[in-house]
Amino acid sequence: MARIEGKKLKLTLKDKNAVTGLLLLIPFLFGFVMFMAVPLVQSLAMAFSSVTIDSPNHRFVLSFSGLENFNRVFRVDTTFNRLLVEETARMLAEVPAEIIFSIFIALLLNQNFRGRGLVRAIFFLPVILSSGVIIKIEMAAQLLEQMMNAAREDFPVNTSLVWLLQEIFSSGSIYMAVFFEYVIRVVQEIYTVAMASGVQIIIFLSALQTIPESMYEAAKIEGSTSWECFWKITFPLLTPLILVNVVYSVVDFFLRTDNRMMGKLESTTRALNYGFSSAMAWVYFLSVMLILGAAVALISRKVHYDV
């Protein structure tokens, strides 16, 4: 709590952090009010209206239609609900993989070794330069996939290592089979996971560098192994950033260009169905907020803020 000493206001460390946070929020709040508040209100009005375009006057004409657009979203459209469920399931599979991958890479990049700066630069270069080089890599991957398909046609008997492991694990318990299928799916999507993990890796790397070395030294004096140090020191102190990265990863996933829900919203808007697309966008937004709320409520129980 802030207190007054003499004629000066004394702020505690918590108060100073709160003031700093508010100052950092000012540019966002200013930009939101100036550029986003009016379109947001307009899209909400469109969601409850039948929208036509007055071309001579270059403006939209809104005619109140109640819940007609929302009824069309849930009961008439045949793809919205299906795509929302499928993309949510894909998010539940990809976000944990991104978090685990980010922690693993951050731990590697936080080690002391020669050329660490160069390795970091090489690792983050594809994230920064996501244009020409990445397109060529994707083309090469497509070519490799075509070659593999051709090889499968010539050799119908599947003797690959992946097939062998699938046979071994499928003969075990159903939980092992489900887990193995998830791992195989993540490995197949490792390029997508790596490309979506750049920001999370930076956040985890920054958090690792703030953990005092004295904590690890004290633990090693007590006889703790590296594995125990990770689970007793590193992981608990990373939990606040895990929460931050989960929120970021979920929002990033639902806004990515390869998300089919975003593609549907874009195609509907291009077809000039502004009322219908606005209703879909608001339902999509509220669905994402519910998912975020559930994720935050679930993860917050395990977050440690002790230093």
The predicted-structure confidence for 188-207, as pLDDT tens digits, reads as follows 677 778 777 888 888 898 88
Among 184, 306, 298, CA closest to 246: 298
Residue 293 contacts residue 305 (beta carbons within 8 Å): no
CATH architecture of 78-122+168-302: Orthogonal Bundle (1.10)
Residues 6+ apart with CB under 8 A from 151: none
pLDDT at 226: 86
Res. 75 pLDDT band, cuts 50 70 90: confident
Among 225, 153, 115, CA closest to 123: 115
pTM here is 0.74
Q: Please give the single-letter amino acid code of residue 190.
A: I
Q: Report d(CA 158, CA 210) in Å as an integer.
A: 49
pLDDT at 201: 86
Burial class (CB in 10 A: 0-12, 13-18, 19+), 73: buried
Mean pLDDT within 155-178: 54
- Tokens representing residue 248 in the block: 């970021």
**How many CB atoms are located within 10 Å of the residue 51 CB?**
20
The answer on pLDDT for 168 being more than 70 is: no
pLDDT at 154: 46
- Tokens representing residue 140 in the block: 């090469």
* Max Cα distance, the chain (Å): 88
pLDDT at 191: 75
**How many CB atoms are located within 10 Å of the residue 144 CB?**
10
pLDDT at 151: 43
Percent of the chain with pLDDT over 70: 74
The answer on pLDDT for 65 being more than 90 is: no
pLDDT at 131: 43
**Beta strands, E only, 194-268:** none
Q: Please give the single-letter amino acid code of residue 54.
A: D
Mean pLDDT within 146-161: 48
Q: Which one is predicted more confidently, 270 or 57?
A: 270
Q: Report d(CA 15, CA 305) in Å as an integer.
A: 17
CA distances from 94 to 11, 89, 150, 186, 292 (A): 43, 9, 29, 7, 15
pLDDT at 245: 93
Q: Report d(CA 144, CA 63) in Å as an integer.
A: 54
The answer on pLDDT for 115 being more than 90 is: no
CA distances from 110 to 190, 226, 241 (A): 21, 14, 16
Residues 6+ apart with CB under 8 A from 238: 103, 204, 207, 208
Residue 229 contacts residue 220 (beta carbons within 8 Å): yes
pLDDT at 118: 74
Among 262, 257, 132, 130, CA closest to 198: 130
